[in-house]
Structure 1
Amino acid sequence: MRTDRIAAVLLAAGESARFGDDDKLMAAIRGKPMVAHVLETVASMAFAEMVAVARPIALAPVIHRKLERRGYTILVNDRPQDGIAASIAMAVEHLMPMRRVRGILLCLADMPDVPQTHYNRICLAAEDIRSVVASTDGFSSSAPAFIGRKHFPELQALRGDQGPRALLSHGVQVETSGAMLHDVNEPQDLPDWRPPSPPPE
């Protein structure tokens, strides 16, 4: 499917509980915040719409500015504790009236190593509004993923932090390396992370 029939949905509202007190999306990777890698790659493609679900601006001012500069419509999730499903449902509700949108490309802000070529492969594997196309490392299904418009009601009914995992597991699988699909949950997941030095004796 052509990208001009697809809405990119960037999920960037998580609590990052396992990362500690810092905002993991602002962690520096290759000279810029983690979130910048994803939002810039997605923005370089010709999507029908670009929607980002983020935390309130007071909690993520830099992220809001970067999203605005790149032309994203920002939806604020005031209850990130409700899990990824709430963010997805919020985005789908926003996009539902836009009939030209034939499906969504789900992108995660904590997956900084996904290249444009892989996003393109996912979109090209989608045939119509019934399509579901997931990424896989050969073991499990994950985002980035395309979900066609026919499944929007199912996405709106999701609850908790599992997201559309069951739906993705039954879709077309586009395989790539596990390194490319690596997501950052803890500080040690960062490519430049080093364990803290032991205190001097």
Structure 2
Amino acid sequence: MEGTAHPPKRTGLLLAAGASRRFGPEDKLLAPFAGRPLLSHAAAAMRAAALDRRIAVVSSAETAALLDGFEVIRIAQGEQSDSLRAGIAAAGTPDRLLIALGDMPLVSAELLDRVIAACTDDHASAGREANGPPMPPACFPASWLPRLAELTGDQGAGRLLRDLPAGQIIDASGQLPDIDTPEALRKLSR
């Protein structure tokens, strides 16, 4: 219909290709949490969020097997920016790119939808724990994708989120702990 606005093309990017060095020899994304592999929680939230497309970047066949409903991009383990760039290349140029991390099992679909809704054509949006810095999940407009693709080394999108306006930062209310060590997983499981 003429004059009918189409919703922006929203693509979700789930990053799950890290080396998990601080976790030890086992793949932390496969570690059990609340009766399921850790990665399955973030994947379920992304499946339930208002997205038109879902992409996951992984480094193992075992994690790929948990990602029904996702386009899976498999890369060698490397630095954080490697998985981000691989995901951006696969995404093309969506109107909105939502980035979530596979080791954040408490992230909800409702939070992901709120982060997407706060993203504008000019500004990214992100979650934040009380008084903490902005962090993933984060949503970026198409105009920010070239900046994301230029990131190198062991850095993600965090540095691009530091100066977001207050209205672009969403209170995540305890949903953002990420699991880096077995102790962090045990503590979260209590």
- The answer (yes or no) to whether the contact 1:4–1:48 under 8 Å persists in 2 is no
The 3 A distance-change label for structure 1 pair 119 and 127 is same
2: CA distance between counterparts of 1:3 and 1:187? Answer: 41
Partner of 1:108: 101
Partner SS for 1:183: coil
What is the correspondence of 1:147-186 to structure 2 with a 5 Å cutoff?
A: 147-171=140-164, 172-177=168-173, 179-186=174-181
Partner of 2:65: 65
Partner SS for 2:106: coil
TM-score by length of 2: 0.88
Identity of aligned residues (%): 27
The 3 A distance-change label for structure 1 pair 73 and 18 is same
Partner of 2:53: 49
Paired AA for residue 123 in structure 2: S
Partner of 1:146: 139
- The answer (yes or no) to whether the contact 1:88–1:156 under 8 Å persists in 2 is yes
- The answer (yes or no) to whether the contact 1:13–1:55 under 8 Å persists in 2 is yes
TM-score by length of 1: 0.83
Partner of residue 34 from structure 1, selected from 9, 18, 38: 38
- Which residues of structure 1 form unaligned runs of 5+? 194-201
- Which residues of structure 2 form unaligned runs of 5+? 1-5
Paired AA for residue 189 in structure 2: D
Provide the aligned length of Structure 1 versus Structure 2.
179
1:189 to partner: Cα distance: 0.6
The 3 A distance-change label for structure 1 pair 3 and 87 is farther
1:174 to partner: Cα distance: 1.2
Q: Does 1:95 align with 2:98?
A: no
2: CA distance between counterparts of 1:114 and 1:38? Answer: 6
Partner of residue 82 from structure 2, selected from 86, 98, 109: 86
The 3 A distance-change label for structure 1 pair 4 and 28 is farther
1: CA distance between counterparts of 2:7 and 2:178? Answer: 24
1: CA distance between counterparts of 2:118 and 2:189? Answer: 34
Partner of 1:17: 21
Q: Does 1:75 align with 2:73?
A: yes
Q: Which structure has the bigger radius of gyration?
A: 1
- CA-based RMSD: 1.7
1: CA distance between counterparts of 2:154 and 2:59? Answer: 16
- The answer (yes or no) to whether the contact 1:4–1:46 under 8 Å persists in 2 is no
1: CA distance between counterparts of 2:112 and 2:90? Answer: 22
1: CA distance between counterparts of 2:126 and 2:45? Answer: 18
